[in-house]
Structure 1
């Protein structure tokens, strides 16, 4: 079997696909990836062919402005038309000779049409329960970052039932991307689709989230297949400088925002908060280029490292609430302070609080005082004990489960 794994997104969307690719290879199958060019060298270094798609995304993770404004309708239209055109131009060649396309994330807008034209299988995967329709939760409001187009206005009537909100969400999909997708379908000789969201998600989407951290609510309107999170095994050793820092005192606090934008001065604010509690800090620079205010011996900025090796050795993790970071910290048994910025991050922040393995920072911009208060709470021994307990409940076999389902034709 030859599988194309395609996604438009940052590391949080790409890394699970790489995990699935590795699981497929372990089972004797072939995988290739269609991902943004930022990840080409990394993925090819793991031995997988890559077809780059779209522009580089790293520049979008520069420091966020104090006030983020949504794109205008005209800007949104141009972004949508651009990303749809790029996908319809790139994915057909990437999918040649494949038996199935697995498309990750809501911005994967051409993969199903390409699979239909080639007469091959198609699977849509989400990494968070609230991004899929259910009467048990409302659609996720989002403000977008270029070059990713999103609409995401908060519902006008927040008291309406979730079914009504999801119906409005479906209409928004049709009104926002329907014309662009159907124009390319017509050019490919395909019939138009009336329900764009249903076409992209299908009536049996996969959910690559851990059932303890992000359970799918039942009963549901659609038949979701929850495989568990797709976790990429990482066996890189920690850098010697980081090892020495970890060995030179009690477990430090770790702050990082991965490949997304970060609140202004979040690293400096976290350092000040940790110092107020007598704690050292590791700053994961990430795409936003986080850095502490000084080069004091109690702070260590580092580039990308193996979170699976680092997180079990820290006292707490301050992060943005991406699915991958939340899962990695939970598996490590590390208490969490989540400072969500957008989209599904607010869901993961709530789940961390609901599970008792950390807290969500209030919506206001973090200050040294607010982060010190949050860290003081999660550094309590009861939270650490609860985090260790949940770590024992979480699963690590999601990618293997998904790979076997693909082979079995499920």
Structure 2
């Protein structure tokens, strides 16, 4: 009888220790994006965003036990370097990958993760995509192990052109984009959607330029001014948008700019007062939107205090929230179990309730249209980059307004 009691007591202690060890597990997440060069300041802000939200999750025990650690890997915006880093991360036992800058990188990672998982059953990786928005990634090239937390470029263009089409003052539109798959998709859909919604609008320019290589955009700004365009649509991001806006300001371009990424690092400073009333942003979040949940202000204020910088990459919040919820629901950090739990998951993010559509792993979420204006402490509480200017929310569009059908034929593990 004493032996039986000893055995039961020992088993209880073992189970308690095992449970404690599981709770103490640290799950590393590899952030693979540019941390140097022209896009380095952008990537650094985004890395810190993921790290900050992960720390909040750890403090508030979102996962129900495991701790999260986001580790930065500098890919120099290179698809080839990214694949090397992917293998390095996997060799270190990291099974969660985060990336968002550049669909050329994103598509390379999506394919590489899929192939790696086929070769390594039981050691699978999950790719959390927060900003590579080529629609092919959740359509023709969709993959079970890939989850997109940003609205893809077609979804944004659907909302943008619907809003723009209501403005009778828009007569001449100039398109300028980066010369890779995402930029070409922005140009193509802008033409198609405007022709359908406002066939009277004239496209007076359609330029492409190398990604993250142009340091002087004055020739492009001169062309925009000479075209007589009253509106510019661009999918440019990072330094390519900041330098374009600066050159346009210097050239005296008065056209309105409709952008996807104007709130990103460096662009607000480049715009300053000259961008007021002229630059708009279509995306999934407005920091000054009435009705944002209370945790939005807490995240913004805490991030500013810690880094003396602005928090704008809220896909990091949705990503960490969903992965944490999957850990808690499955009592596991195994990527296969987590991936299955993520399908169809709904969480409260900083822009409202969001859902990871199971059919293609494309997050469905509200979108906003905002305009760069002088901060007044009321409609525009948060400025950006200490410019005293910020984003006034003009319209909030529910998720259905940008929901598009998918051609994804998802192949799921047995």
TM-score, scaled to structure 1: 0.32
Higher strand share: 2
**Structure label with greater radius of gyration:** 2
